[in-house]
Amino acid sequence: MSDQSGTPGAAPGGTGGRTGAVTLVDQGNLGPRTSEGSSFFGAVTPIFRFLYSLISKNFGALLLALIVLSIFGTFLQGGATLMGNQIKNALVLGAIYALVAIGYTMVYGIIELINFAHGDVFTVSGFYAIFIANTLHLNSLATSSFGGLLLALAIVFPLSMIAAGLTGMAIEFVAYRRLRDAPRLAPLITAIGVSFLIEGVMLVREGPDYVTTGQASWINGTAFTIGKVAVGYTDLFVVGTALLLMFALGAFVQRTRLGKAMRSTAQDRTAALLCGIDINRTISATFFIGSALAAAAAVIYSINYGDVKWNIGFRLGIIAFTAAVLGGIGNIVGAGVGGFLIGLIYVFGGSLIGGAWSEALIFAILVLILTFRPVGLFGVEVTTRA
């Protein structure tokens, strides 16, 4: 493919070469594929071009300005208490989005596939957690004492993460592995098929209604209050766990041999193979980690919200994917930050224009990102592969 510097969609600041950032994708493929003769964007006036590049360059700043404005708007509407409560809600929601978004971004980074089933892995992990907690009678243990709570958490987190990780590996093995060299449409279709299969199984098994997890009562009480905003232990736990897991993942990808294998597989699969990296094992490990993080998000979710439903993961998945795109797909840090940003947009946009519009707003953000800055906020434009 030819050099794209002439097209307006190319993000500026591209220095070429891959950086050492926690980036799992060859970002160059995300650039626009317009040819020189494209009449749609090719024939626009220079003014349009200028505006486009202006928005494209300052996309992050514009988005932040919007977020700050909407926070301010909420402040005007409901005062400091509402604003504080909404910031708390946004951070809790953002933590969950961030954990799920990391799974999307890792899988996209390594095999360039939108894993539509990821949102449903989240849901199924919620049911795993319920099953584990009920089977081992963890609910009474967790509410008995602080030590019991720690023990219950130490049991339910690893077990459901391992179960979800194995589920993710199984999905990869059954549905994606043999389509790795097939045309792009094929794995996308099986991905959506897996998503529907998982949803169908949960619908048949768990019924169409919300299922109470019994984990909402695990963590109680108010840690401290700022003004009139009560910050509960649950909120601290959610955000803290999410941040901890994200840093652990960052360290894992940067420091360990397997993390290095993942990065090299993401950059060039053939070259990684030539260097003696077991590609299948690396990709399986990526699915395991991504799904395990989704499971952690699910456990956090059920502790925080208290109920799960067979299809909650579907919309949550779309929103988390938007977070991944916002951060720059393939970029783990970007996915984390994107998750929190999307959480802010979701909550504050919703409180300003009505909660029923939150998801429409997120979708509009997705379209805007793809129009103006397809590489995301933290994406690095690199020269396209020949």
Partner 1 sequence: MRKRLAAFIRTEPEGGPSSAGTSVFWILASSASGLLIIGWLLPWFVGPYDAGVGYSAQDALVSSPTGIGTILIYILAVAMVILFVSPFAEAFMRFRGRTFGPRADRIRLYLGIAGVVLTGVVWLLYRVLGEEPLFGSLQPGEISDSAIWLTMYGFALAALVYGARPWVIGRQTLAFGTAVLPFGIFLPLMFHQAPDFLLWAAGSLAIYMLLALGLNVVVGFAGLLDLGYAAFFAIGAYACASFASPIHNIHWPLWILIFLGAAIASLFGAILGAPTLRLRGDYLAIVTLGFGEIVPDLATNNVFNLTGGPNGISGIDQPHWGFMDFSESPRWYYWSLLLVSIAVIVLLYNIERSRVGRAWVALREDEVAAAATGINTTTTKLLAFAIGASVSGLAGAFYGSLVTVVTPDDFSFSVSIAVLSIVVLGGIGNIAGVILGAVILTFVIFWALPNMDAWSTTLSSTVHIPALANINFSSYTYIIYGLALILMMLLRPGGLLPSRARRIELESAGESESLAAVQGIA
Binding-site ranges for partner 1 (CB under 8 A): 1, 9, 29-30, 32-35, 37-41, 112-114, 116, 174-175, 178-179, 181-190, 192-201, 203-204, 208, 314-315, 318, 321-322, 325, 354, 356-357, 359-360, 362-363, 366-367, 370-371, 374
Please report how close the Cβ of residue 83 comes to partner 1 at its closest, in angstroms: 25
- The sign of the CA dihedral 129, 130, 134, 140 is positive
Please report how close the Cβ of residue 378 comes to partner 1 at its closest, in angstroms: 17
Distances (CA, A) of 323 to 103, 264, 317, 363: 11, 24, 10, 11
Token duo for residue 364:
């509009």
Cβ-based neighbours of 81, under 8 Å, separated by 6 or more: 227, 228, 229
Please report how close the Cβ of residue 78 comes to partner 1 at its closest, in angstroms: 21
Helix (H) or strand (E) holding 199: helix 185-206
Closer by beta carbon to partner 1, 91 or else 320? 320
Please report how close the Cβ of residue 182 comes to partner 1 at its closest, in angstroms: 5
Closer by beta carbon to partner 1, 237 or else 378? 378
Q: How many CA atoms lie within 13 A of 137 on its CB side?
A: 3
Nearest to 173 by CA among 258, 273, 280, 291: 280
Q: Are strands 222-226 and 211-212 parallel, antiparallel or unpaired?
A: unpaired
- Nearest-10 crossing angle of helices 332-344, 233-255: 160
Closer by beta carbon to partner 1, 93 or else 133? 93
Q: Are strands 229-232 and 222-226 parallel, antiparallel or unpaired?
A: antiparallel
Closer by beta carbon to partner 1, 196 or else 233? 196
Closer by beta carbon to partner 1, 200 or else 227? 200
Please report how close the Cβ of residue 335 comes to partner 1 at its closest, in angstroms: 15
Closer by beta carbon to partner 1, 29 or else 77? 29
Please report how close the Cβ of residue 359 comes to partner 1 at its closest, in angstroms: 6
Which residue is associated with the tokens 């008995």? 144
